[in-house]
Chain A
Amino acid sequence: MVYITSWDEFVERSVQLFRADPDSTRYVMKYRHCDGKLVLKVTDNRECLKYKTDQAQEAKKMEKLNNIFFTLMARGPEVDLSEVTGKEQTDAQPTKRGRGRKQ
């Protein structure tokens, strides 16, 4: 299992992985309260990326990542991610319709 040490690298690689194969990529989270540990895993059944932590601040970052994945998965991998804001830049499913908030 590959444990990534940098959060940003983990995020970037997982998003890449998802975009490359949205149908088989999944994101797993395991939380153990008794040990105070959180482990995240993103895999497409060929490659696997993991991240573990016991820090409360990382939980906040994980929430952002959750949001990213929710958006990607529910709306389609072509959604343009601007992290927190502007998740509605492309519309619904993976069709090439863009609503375009830019002028």
Chain B
Amino acid sequence: MVLLQLDPFLNELTSMFERSTEAGSVWVTLKRSSLKSKVVRNKMATAGEAIEYRCLIRATNGKKTISTSVGPKDHQRFQASYATILKAHMTSLKKRERKDKKKSSESDKREGTSKRPKKS
């Protein structure tokens, strides 16, 4: 697993999305972590030190995994770039045409087509 700095991670994430357009998925996982082992953490807790937590972000396309760790100082910047990347790539989601109460994904899965007269 490759641990990267923030910006290379974002670049890799972008190319991952681009490569997975025809087939495959992109998974992104977010988890809070202090990146220290339990022993060290216990020691720090007993010593009265505040444990600094970071946000661990992992991305994979099934074959390759990349990761990065974001602290409170860079999380705003990361958040903004991350949002931009997602917005740019999630283009195959359906635009909203009408107010659907039901989850249209369920019905579409069964139908296998997006054109379905649902107006009642």
CA distance A29 to B21 in the complex (A): 16
Complex contact A38–B90 (CB within 8 A): yes
**0/1 interface trace, chain B 71-92, chain A, CB 8 Å (1 if under):** 1100100110011001101111
CA distance A27 to B55 in the complex (A): 11
Is B24 part of the contact surface with A, judged by Cβ < 8 Å? yes
Is A30 part of the contact surface with B, judged by Cβ < 8 Å? yes
Complex contact A74–B24 (CB within 8 A): no
Is B50 part of the contact surface with A, judged by Cβ < 8 Å? yes
Residues 30 to 46 of chain A near chain B (Cβ within 8 Å):
30-38
Name the distance in Å between B57's Cβ and chain A's nearest Cβ.
Answer: 9
Complex contact B90–A34 (CB within 8 A): no
Q: Evaluate whether A55 and B104 lie within 8 angstroms (CB atoms) in the complex, with A22-B32, A36-B94, A93-B51 already known.
A: yes
CB-defined contacts of B111 to chain A, threshold 8 Å? none
Complex contact A63–B86 (CB within 8 A): yes
Complex contact B75–A54 (CB within 8 A): no
Main SS class of interface, B? mixed
Complex contact A27–B31 (CB within 8 A): yes
> Which of B78, B89, B103 has the most chain A CB atoms inside 10 A of its CB?
B103
Name the distance in Å between B30's Cβ and chain A's nearest Cβ.
Answer: 4
CA distance A84 to B55 in the complex (A): 19
Q: Evaluate whether A93 and B53 lie within 8 angstroms (CB atoms) in the complex, with A29-B28, A55-B94 already known.
A: yes
CA distance A70 to B60 in the complex (A): 19
CB-defined contacts of A23 to chain B, threshold 8 Å? 32-33
Complex contact A73–B21 (CB within 8 A): no
**0/1 interface trace, chain B 25-45, chain A, CB 8 Å (1 if under):** 111111111000000000000
CB-defined contacts of A32 to chain B, threshold 8 Å? 20, 24-26
Q: Evaluate whether A53 and B30 lie within 8 angstroms (CB atoms) in the complex, with A71-B75, A74-B53 already known.
A: no
Q: Which residues of A contact B (CB under 8 A)?
A: 5, 22-23, 25-38, 52-59, 62-63, 66-67, 69-76, 92-95
